Amino acid sequence: EDDRLKFLPRDELRRVFEEAGVDVDTDRQIVCTCGSGVSVCHLFLALEECGRDNGKDRTVIYDGSWTEWGADENTPKIIGEE
């Protein structure tokens, strides 16, 4: 059986989110994003696997992701020192 194609168990997923500073149980909206809008779906589903209730759009996908946001000269960006 190929475990690479499965999500981690719920407690391990929660630990990963916690270590990344994500509170799965927050009442605040979580906006999921990635570089192109493809891998973000895994993030969204992992949050649901952790028991996050998506009622009232508590978790959303920004499907334009960085490709769209970065190309728009009107969106805010923070550029670090080189």
Catalytic machinery residues:
34
Rounded distance, CA 72 to CA 49, Å? 33
Mutual orientation of helices 40-49 and 10-19 as an angle, nearest 10°? 120
Q: How many CB atoms lie within 10 A of CB 17?
A: 19
Question: To which residue do tokens 């630990």 refer?
Answer: 15
Query: Hey, what amino acid is at 23?
Result: D
